[in-house]
Structure 1
Amino acid sequence: MASECRATELLLRILRKLKGSLSSDARSTAEDVLSQGPGAPVPFSVVRELHAALREKGSSVYLHELLEGSEIYLPVVELPERNPVLVARLEKIKAKLANEEYKRITKNVTSQTSRPGTLADIGREVRPLKKIIVTVFNFFVTVATAFACTYIGSQYVFAESAARVLSSVIVASLVGLAELYVLVRAMEGELGEL
C-alpha cells in the first residue's frame, strides 16, 4: 500500500520554511527530501506533521492544496525467485490434471467401428420404437383411467347408466385431447432439437 507521495515545488517550499517546527524524525526525513529535490518520495506522516504545523501558524493552506500536483509514490515490488522444486511439482500436477481431463473427454470414444447388424445397431433402432410404444400405452391408460374414474364417480350424480356413460365419454375425450396436445408439444420440442 502506498505510504508516500512525490514532492512538488510548493511542498518543498513549505517544507523549507517549516522544517524547524517538525519532530526530529520528520525533520531528518525532510532534509533528505529537500536534498533530493522535486519528485522525491515524501512519507505521508511528514506531510501530516507539516499540515499540523501550518495550522498552528494560522495558515489557510488545506491538506489537499499541499498535495496538489503530487503523485502517489508506489515502490517497485521485487518478486522473490520461485523455488525450482515447487515449480517442478506444479508442472507435474498440471500434467496429471491435463491427462485426467483428456481421459475424461475421451472415455466414450472407441477405436472400433461398429459393423452393421450388430446388437448395438439393434439397440439404437429399438430405443425410438420403445419410446413410441410407451407413449401410446400411456395415452390409452390415461384415457381409460379417466373414463373409469368418471363412470364410477358419476354414480353419485346420475342414476341412469346412459348418462353415466355419456359423461364418462365426454371426460375421457377431454383428457384424451389434453394428452394429445401435450404429446404434440413434446414432439415439436424433440423435432426442434434435431
Structure 2
Amino acid sequence: MASAVRAGRRLRRAAEGGELEGVPASLRGELEEALASEGALVPFSLLRRLHAALREAGSPLYLHQLLEGSEIHLPEVPVPPRNPELVARLERIKAKLANEEYRRMTRNITGQEMNGTLAEFGRQVRSVKAVVITVFNFIVTVAAAFACAYLGSQYVFAESAAHVLSAVIVASVVGLAELYIMVRTLEGDLGKL
C-alpha cells in the first residue's frame, strides 16, 4: 500500500525557495530531510502536517499545487518463495493433463479407434449371423413338419388334397409355435440369441 510520495519539481522548488513561510522550522527541516533522502520520498503523514500548517498560516499555497508533478510511491511487494512440494505437484498435474490431451488428440490416429470399430463390426456380424441361423432354423423346421405331415397323411387319407391340407395345417401349427419361441427369445424371457 502506498505510504509516500516521490517529490516533484514544484515541491522541491517550494522547499528550497522559501515559499513555505508560516510553516514551523521543524516541519520544514523534516521536509528538506525527506527531499534529500534517496528517491526524495515524502511520507503522507508529513504531507498531512504540512497541509495543516499551511492552512493555519493562511498561506495562498495549496497542497495540490505543491504535489503537482509528484508521483505516488508504490513499494514493491515481496514475493514469498514457492513451496517446492507445491511446485513438484503442479508439475505432475501439468504433465498428466498434457498427456491426457495428447492421448485425446492422437486417439483417431492410432489403431485404437479402428479396433473399436472392428470390435463393433464383429458384434454386428455375430448378431446378424444369429438372426440368419434362426430364420434358417425356422424354415427347415416348417418344411420338415410339412414333409412329415404329408407323408404321414398318406396312410390316413387316400386323396391328394387331404394330404396337402393336413400337411399345411401341421406346418402352420409348428410355424406358429416356432414364432412364439423366437419372440420370447428375442424379448429375453428364454435367454439371448
Normalising by structure 1, we get a TM-score of 0.45
Normalising by structure 2, we get a TM-score of 0.46
Rg comparison, structure with higher value: 2
